[in-house]
Amino acid sequence: MQHSNRLAREKSPYLLQHQHNPVDWYPWGEEAFSKAIAEDKPIFLSIGYSTCHWCHVMERESFEDEQVAAFLNEHFVSIKVDREERPDVDKIYMTAVQAISGQGGWPLSAFLTGELKPFYGGTYFPPSDVQGRPGFLNLLHGLANLWRTKRSEVTHSSTDLHQRLAELCDAVPSNGTPLNEKILEKAAESFRLGYDPVDGGFGRAPKFPRPTQPAFLLRYGVRHQRQDLIDMLLHTCERMAKGGMYDQIGGGFARYSVDSKWLVPHFEKMLYDNAQLVHLYLDAYLVSGRRSFIRVIEETLDYVRRDMTHKEGGFFSAEDADSEGKEGKFYCWTRAELEAGLEPEEFQVFANYYGVTEGGNFVDHSDPDPLPKQNVLSVVGEDLSAGQEAILKRARANVAEIRSRRVRPHLDDKVLVSWNGLMLGAMARAYGVLGREEDRVSAERCFNFLWTTLWDASSNCLFHRWREGERDSVQLFQGYAYLLGGVIDLYEVTLNPDYLQSAISLADAMIEQFYDSENGGFWQSGAESSHLILRLKEDYDGAEPSGNSVVMIALQKLAAICDREDYEAIAQRCLKVFSERMDQLPQAVPLMLLALDFSLFPPHRVVIQGDPASESTQSLMRAAHRVYQPNKVVMGTQGMVSAFVRGLAEEGQDAKAFLCTAQACQEPSNDPERVQNFLKS
């Protein structure tokens, strides 16, 4: 008989994956908390996400085991949380587990008192003891005994840990570090020292793309004419695009590479990674002019449009690493499979170019029965002749057709406003640089979908998740921040004043709900958020950028467009709050460093008058966006722009650009080349 638990009523794909576990799971909420208090039981909190490989492993090994489930059900109250739906909950307990164990990751396993204070935690636990790591069932027995026989120690430990975390989070960061170029110089040198000159990227295996770090090095390198730093970014982009982390057949990037060569990926694909990497490759293209980067951008966006887009315009969250229970099965190939599916001439060119061998280059060591002779495709061949290029193109199309008949990995089809904000911004900016109409259409459809389904105009609230016709009731600063950044990108490539108005509405609501007016910075969740034992200000630009970093840039741009001194003041105060963090640990905050750069070098303003649909206006807009100048804003003369900008508008509808610095504007021009020369200056 199949089990069923309370998660069957949820919308999260991750929670639904666990709806038939014999574990008596509860979602995060009052029902579970009340049960723990009433029955005097500790809480087992398990946090993960639907495309998490090790989450699947722990489910198979432990949560589907009847003996483990019976013990959990008798001695604990078990709660499942989707970290992507509730990053605020995840951040609190990830911080606690890192303090307890010295490491973090998913699945996150935390044990709490009825007051939701953690007293023990870790990540993945194997079913039985191995290499010093306790088996999960043995761990449960030990913790249940501890709860029963040494309650006072458990209570004291949880109270002490909570107090230490609260002090850490409530501390007002020092504002004494001067905000100047020395911080940027120090950061650039720190990043440079971590560079891998052989394979690109930073650090050792496993190697994550983390686009904000190379983006900072590129900005610093261009400003200071440091070709060595520029080359680090270009080399990294080339190596990632040639490696197996990039889907050579379908486009888009996997989560990370398990080795240092970008060869073997952890095969899950996340929306937020691909959005940030599109921005990075756009920068790389604008600086270098290399058309190979255009191919990566276009294939990545085509992948999102084809495989990750809801019919109404929103973008889905992720695709799993596993297919039919095997990691990478959808993406990998044996030599025999390719020989059988391609003509001999096609196979020869394809195998040589992508490094296909009889023995393969990937073994899933986490699988007790791994698939044999698997090849992850990566570019190892030299430049091809025109004839070989044509053969390879035909072979790739045939391999794509064969792959389309395979069982696809699980799709996490929830729509998160935060990650959608990142991707619609990437789509919009790609349209500005490359001019593909389908990218603009996708960005606008996504925004319209989000604004219709997740923005409540009557209460000025932005909700976080939509799935199967329903939105949640959660509001998170990250969602406001990411969408604000994306909408500003969309405004700058369309000059549609409605998008500017939406950005202002978002900014005002965000400031009212999340801004710490006493100390500066933005809280991750609102003051009314219940059942959260801490309020945090996120500043870590990791796999996802921190909301505070994104907002510092967005508010500075809005301030320049709308002449809003209040936005500028809030952004500057945020920078001061985190000034010591930028100075002492720049590796943690690369996007925040870009916000500091934006504040130290006032933006070039390109004010464009004219009908945005006309070819002459489009020509000026394309000129503005096809120059690498991150510290710029592009705006029209209509809507909520500053009074000064509205005053620049002249009679008639002839397209022209007013080129302005912080001090003055040049004579208007209708010459695209002059626009580009101004931005390059």
423 lies in a domain? yes
Q: Do residues 445 and 402 both lie within one domain? A: no
3-state SS of 351-381? Answer: HHHHCCCCCCCECCCCCCCCCCCEECCCCCC
Q: Do residues 598 and 620 both lie within one domain? A: no
**Across 611-632, average pLDDT:** 95
Mean pLDDT of all residues belonging to the chain: 94
pTM of the entire predicted model: 0.95
User: Which residue among 119, 143, 170 closes a domain?
Assistant: 170
Q: Does 268 score more than 70 pLDDT?
A: yes
Q: Does 652 score more than 70 pLDDT?
A: no
Return the pLDDT at 366: 79
Whose tokens are 């909420």? That residue is: 29
The Cα 474–Cα 104 span in angstroms is: 25
Number of domains in the chain: 4
Q: Do residues 367 and 491 both lie within one domain? A: no
Domain of 305, in residue numbers: 181-412
* Torsion (CA) 320, 324, 329, 331 in degrees, nearest 10: -50
Q: Do residues 103 and 187 both lie within one domain? A: no
Nearest to 109 by CA among 151, 146, 145, 137: 137
**Sign of torsion over alpha carbons 527, 531, 535, 537:** negative
Q: What is the DSSP string of 191-242?
A: HHHTB-TTT-SBSSSSB---THHHHHHHHHHHHTT-HHHHHHHHHHHHHHHH
Whose tokens are 């686009």? That residue is: 211
Q: How confident is the model at residue 651 (pLDDT cuts 50, 70, 90)?
A: low
274 lies in a domain? yes
Return the pLDDT at 365: 82
1 lies in a domain? no
322 lies in a domain? yes
Q: Does 171 score more than 60 pLDDT?
A: no
Q: Do residues 571 and 432 both lie within one domain? A: yes
From the CA atom positions of the chain, what is the Rg in Å? 26
**Length of the chain (residues):** 681
Q: Cα–Cα distances in Å, from 71 out to 147, 207, 383, 680? A: 14, 38, 60, 66
**Sign of torsion over alpha carbons 637, 643, 648, 651:** positive
pLDDT digits (tens, 9 = 90+) for 140-163: 999 999 999 999 999 999 999 999
Q: How confident is the model at residue 219 (pLDDT cuts 50, 70, 90)?
A: very high
Least confident of 523-527, 613-617, 672-676: 523-527
CB 418 within 8 A of CB 478: yes
621 lies in a domain? yes
Q: Cα–Cα distances in Å, from 185 out to 174, 175, 191, 586, 663? A: 20, 19, 10, 10, 26
Q: Do residues 51 and 108 both lie within one domain? A: yes
CATH number for the domain including 573?
A: 1.50.10.20
- What one-letter code names the amino acid at 402? I
Return the pLDDT at 53: 87
**Across 298-323, average pLDDT:** 97
175 lies in a domain? no
Q: Do residues 128 and 163 both lie within one domain? A: yes
90 lies in a domain? yes
Q: Does 331 score more than 60 pLDDT?
A: yes
Q: Do residues 425 and 357 both lie within one domain? A: no
- What one-letter code names the amino acid at 315? F
Nearest to 619 by CA among 590, 656, 582: 656
The Cα 495–Cα 612 span in angstroms is: 7
Q: At what angle do helices 136-149 and 66-75 cross, to 10 degrees?
A: 20
- In degrees and rounded to multiples of 5, residue 611 shows phi and psi of -70, 120
- What one-letter code names the amino acid at 127? P
Cis previous bond, 668, omega within 30? no
**Across 425-441, average pLDDT:** 98
56 lies in a domain? yes
Q: Do residues 593 and 619 both lie within one domain? A: no
Cis previous bond, 173, omega within 30? no
First-to-last alpha carbon distance for the chain, in angstroms, is 72
Return the pLDDT at 90: 95
- Dump strand ranges (E) for 541-664: 604-609, 632-635, 656-660
Q: Does 133 score more than 90 pLDDT?
A: no
pLDDT digits (tens, 9 = 90+) for 356-412: 999 999 998 878 899 999 999 999 998 899 999 999 999 999 999 999 999 999 999
**Sign of torsion over alpha carbons 409, 412, 415, 417:** negative
CB 459 within 8 A of CB 526: no
Return the pLDDT at 173: 62
User: Residue 646: which H helix or E strand, with range?
Assistant: helix 643-648
**Across 449-472, average pLDDT:** 96
Contacts of 9 (CB under 8 A, 6+ apart): 27
Q: What is the DSSP string of 31-65?
A: HHHHHHHHHT--EEEEEE-TT-HHHHHHIIIIIT-
User: Which residue among 555, 575, 602 closes a domain?
Assistant: 602
Beta bridge partners of 256: 266
User: Residue 80: which H helix or E strand, with range?
Assistant: strand 77-82
**Across 240-248, average pLDDT:** 98
Least confident of 40-54, 403-417, 561-575, 634-648: 634-648
Q: How confident is the model at residue 556 (pLDDT cuts 50, 70, 90)?
A: very high
Q: Do residues 644 and 654 both lie within one domain? A: yes
Q: Do residues 427 and 296 both lie within one domain? A: no
- Helix boundaries (H) for 601-631: 615-625
What number of helices (H) and strands (E) belong to the chain? Answer: 26, 20
pLDDT digits (tens, 9 = 90+) for 2-15: 789 999 999 999 99
CB 618 within 8 A of CB 612: yes
User: Which residue among 170, 202, 229 closes a domain?
Assistant: 170
CATH number for the domain including 71?
A: 3.40.30.10
**Across 269-282, average pLDDT:** 98
CATH number for the domain including 617?
A: 3.40.30
Q: Do residues 389 and 476 both lie within one domain? A: no
- What one-letter code names the amino acid at 154? V
Q: How confident is the model at residue 174 (pLDDT cuts 50, 70, 90)?
A: low
Least confident of 85-99, 124-138, 210-224: 124-138
